């Protein structure tokens, strides 16, 4: 059974702070990793994808991948109340299947 | 460009009834997926398809069936509905299978 683990939270940060979200995965041969944001009652939407070790930055978001440690993270800088949502980590295996974590609930306090 | 559309948005079924959840995408994506999301949980893959005429089981396929006769449509069939199938169902699609998934708005299903 392939697993993707996230801290369920809830995680609360003040507006303007850095939010740090973490994810570990069990399938060592996974190559593609994704962070989705899901607002309550809505469908997931892609925030970041990362395929290589290291950091990938897109605006206020930075994804970090360490394949040796089977660890992927998402940093949100200058957090805004509109960032309040559940963040889902997803891992693609070699067989075309995506595995999702249970999500981390983030609340940004104004 | 409507993206991924799903119908119905909501449905209540009695135990033992059957229904089909519809999913259509207009982006010419080869890969399509069906997920279920239980409250407070992540998404679990039910079935997926890599192209018309090709389907395969995901993590939780029991109690469901799919077909993929066209690139655009990927219906999910529930036979003999059970309370354990109460969930929110999302359909998604991608171009290559290794990139961003585009999700439909979801179908909220209750089985009582």
Chain A residues near residue B106 by CB distance under 8 angstroms: 42-43
Q: Would you state the pLDDT for residue A63?
A: 97
- Tell me, yes or no, if B27 comes closer than 8 A to chain A by beta carbon: no
Interchain proximity A43–B59, CB inside 8 Å: no
> What's the pLDDT tens digit per position in B44-85?
999 999 999 999 999 999 999 999 999 999 999 998 999 999
Residues of B in contact with A6 (CB under 8 A): 42
CB of A13 within 8 Å of a chain B CB? The answer is: no
Report the run of H or E that residue B83 belongs to, with start and end.
none
Say whether residue B101 is in contact with chain A using an 8 A CB cutoff.
Answer: yes
pLDDT of B98 above 80: no
Q: B1-6 — which CB contacts under 8 Å span 24+ positions?
A: B1/B26, B1/B27, B2/B26, B3/B27, B3/B102, B3/B104, B4/B91, B4/B92, B4/B93, B4/B102, B4/B103, B4/B104, B5/B104, B5/B105, B6/B89, B6/B90, B6/B91, B6/B104, B6/B105, B6/B106, B6/B107
A40 shares contact with chain B (CB less than 8 Å): no
CB contact under 8 A, A92 and B98: yes
Which residues from chain B sit within 8 angstroms of residue A49, using beta carbons? 99-100
pLDDT means per 10 residues, chain A with 110 residues, are 85 97 91 94 94 95 95 97 96 87 95
Q: Which carries the bigger pLDDT value, residue B1 or residue A58? A: A58
**Binding-face residues of A in 53-82 toward B, CB within 8 A:** none
Chain A residues whose beta carbon lies within 8 Å of the beta carbon of residue B90: 43-44
């Amino acid at each position: 059974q392939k697993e993707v683990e996230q801290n369920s939270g809830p995680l609360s940060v003040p507006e303007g702070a850095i939010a740090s979200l973490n994810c570990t995965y069990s399938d060592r041969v996974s190559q593609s990793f994704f962070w989705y944001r899901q607002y309550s009652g809505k469908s997931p939407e892609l925030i970041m994808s990362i395929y290589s070790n290291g950091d990938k930055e897109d605006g206020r978001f930075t994804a970090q991948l360490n394949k040796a440690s089977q660890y992927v993270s998402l940093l949100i800088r200058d957090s805004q109340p509109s960032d309040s949502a559940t963040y889902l980590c997803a891992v693609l295996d070699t067989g075309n299947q995506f595995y999702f974590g249970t999500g981390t609930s983030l609340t940004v306090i104004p | 460009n409507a993206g991924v559309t799903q119908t119905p948005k909501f449905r209540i079924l009695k135990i033992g009834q059957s229904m089909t959840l519809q999913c259509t995408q207009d982006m010419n994506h080869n890969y399509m997926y069906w997920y279920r999301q239980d409250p407070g949980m992540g998404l679990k893959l039910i079935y997926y398809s890599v192209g018309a005429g090709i389907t395969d089981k995901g993590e939780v396929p029991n109690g469901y069936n799919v077909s993929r006769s066209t690139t655009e449509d990927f219906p999910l069939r529930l036979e003999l509905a059970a309370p354990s199938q109460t969930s929110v169902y999302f359909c998604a699609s991608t171009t290559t299978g290794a990139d961003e998934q585009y999700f439909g708005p979801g179908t909220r299903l209750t089985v009582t």
